[in-house]
Amino acid sequence: MRKGECKVQSAKYKVQSTNRGQQAVAHHRRAGRLGLHFALCTLQFALVIGIYLLSGFFVVRGNETAVVRRFGAAVKNANGEVRLWPSGWHYDCPWPFAVVDRINLNEIRTLKIGDLEQDAPATNSFLRNVDPARQAQFLSGDKNILNVQISVSYRVSESAVGEFLFAAVSSERRLRTLAESVLADAMLLSGVDFAHTLGRNELRERMTADLQRLVREQRLGLTVDDVTIANVSPPLRVKAEFIDVMNARADKETAINQARAYSEQREAEGRGVARQTIDSAEVFRRQSVEAAKAEAESFSKLIAQLRSDEQSGRRSYAESRQLAMRRKYLDTLEEVLRKVAAKVVLDSGQAIDLTILREQKSSAK
C-alpha cells in the first residue's frame, strides 16, 4: 500500500511540475506578445504624432500672401500689425491650433451691380423670383427711371489685411451694399440727360471718390481702384420714345455744331480779308509816301537847278521854268500815248496844236 501511494504521489508531483512548466512557458509567451503589441502601438502612435506635426508645414504660392491664425488670433509682428507670410515653405502649429488664410493681394476683383432688363423672359424663368440685390432700376433727380449697371474694380489692401479677414463677416457683401448706396445717391443728384450721355465721366469720378471714402471709413480692408458705368438705358416700355428724344437732341446738337462751324469759317474768312485789306492799304500807303517823297525831292532839285541857272545868267527863272514844264509835258504825253490802245490821225489839212502851255507862256510874258 505504501509503495502504491508513493507512486501515486510521485505521479501527481510530475504532473504538477509539468503543468507549472507549461504555465510558465505560456506566461512568457503572453508577456512577449504584450511587449511586441505595446512596441507596435508606440511606433504607430509616434508615426501618427510625426505625421500630425508634419502637417504644420504649409506652402504659400508666388502670387499669394498668408496670414496665420494661432489659437483663433492672428499672428502679429513686433509693430502690432498682422504678420504677412511671403511665398515659400513655412511651418506653424498644425490644425486646429493654427489656421492659414491665403490671400492674393495682386488680384483685381470685379463686382457688378445691377442686371440689365431683358426684352422677354426666358421660358424656364417666367416665375423666377426677383433678387432685390441685383435690380438695376434707379430713380434720377428729375424723377425718371433708368436701368444702370456698374462694375467696381477692387483689391485687398496690403496694409489692412487684418481688417479684410476679421473686421467684417463678408467684406464683399458690405462693398456691394455701399456701391448700391453710392449709385442711388449719385443718380438722385443727376438728371436723366446728365446720367445718360452728358456727365458719365463726372458721374464715374464722383462715385469712385465716394466709394473709396466709405470703404476707408467702414474699414473693409479693400482698395477701390475704379467704378465703371457699364450701361445706362431707359426702361423697355419707354425705350422707343427715349430714342426719339435722343435722336432729336442729337439733330439739334448737329445743327448747332454746323452753325458754329459755319460761323467760325465765315469769321475766319472775314478776318483774312480784313487782314489782306489792311496789308494792301499799308503797302499802298508806303508806296504813295515813297513816291511823294521822290517827287518832292525831284521838284526840290528842279527848283534848285532853275535858281542856279538864273544866278549864273544863262537864262531867266521864267524861261527855265517854261522849258522844264515843256519837257515834263512832252515826257508825260509820250508816256500817255504809249499806253493808248488806238490812235486817231486827223487829215484836215490844218496843224493840230497839242500844247497846253501857250496860255501859261503868254501869262508868263
Whole-number Cα distances in Å, 336 to 292, 327, 332, 341, 346: 20, 14, 6, 10, 18
**For the residues 28-37, what does the mean pLDDT come to?**
69
pLDDT digits (tens, 9 = 90+) for 322-360: 887 888 888 887 787 777 766 666 666 666 665 555 544
pLDDT digits (tens, 9 = 90+) for 128-141: 444 544 557 888 88
DSSP alpha helices (H): ranges in 107-163?
161-162
Confidence of residue 60 (pLDDT cuts 50, 70, 90): confident
The C-alpha angle with vertex 346 and arms to 341 and 349, in degrees rounded to 5, equals 160
**For the residues 106-135, what does the mean pLDDT come to?**
63
Confidence of residue 27 (pLDDT cuts 50, 70, 90): low
CA distance 208 to 186: 11
Confidence of residue 303 (pLDDT cuts 50, 70, 90): confident
**For the residues 173-181, what does the mean pLDDT come to?**
91
Confidence of residue 172 (pLDDT cuts 50, 70, 90): confident
Amino acid (1-letter code) at residue 326: R
Q: For all residues of the chain together, what is the average pLDDT?
A: 79
> pTM here?
0.54
Whole-number Cα distances in Å, 41 to 33, 35, 45, 46, 241: 12, 10, 6, 8, 84
Question: Which distant-in-sequence residues (6+ apart) come within 8 Å of 117 by Cβ?
Answer: 136, 137, 147, 233, 235, 236
* Residue 285 confidence (pLDDT): 92
Which of 116-130, 185-199, 231-245 shows the lowest per-residue confidence on average (mean pLDDT)? 116-130
Q: Which residue has the higher pLDDT, 160 or 6?
A: 160
* Residue 361 confidence (pLDDT): 43
**For the residues 96-123, what does the mean pLDDT come to?**
77
Question: 96: cis peptide before it, omega within 30°?
Answer: yes
| Best-predicted range by mean pLDDT (78-82, 86-90, 349-353) | 86-90
CA distance 229 to 183: 10
Q: Could you give the 3-state DSSP secondary structure of residue 91?
A: strand
CA distance 194 to 189: 10
Query: Does pLDDT of 213 surpass 60?
Result: yes
Query: Which run of H or of E encompasses 65?
Result: strand 65-70
* Residue 338 confidence (pLDDT): 78
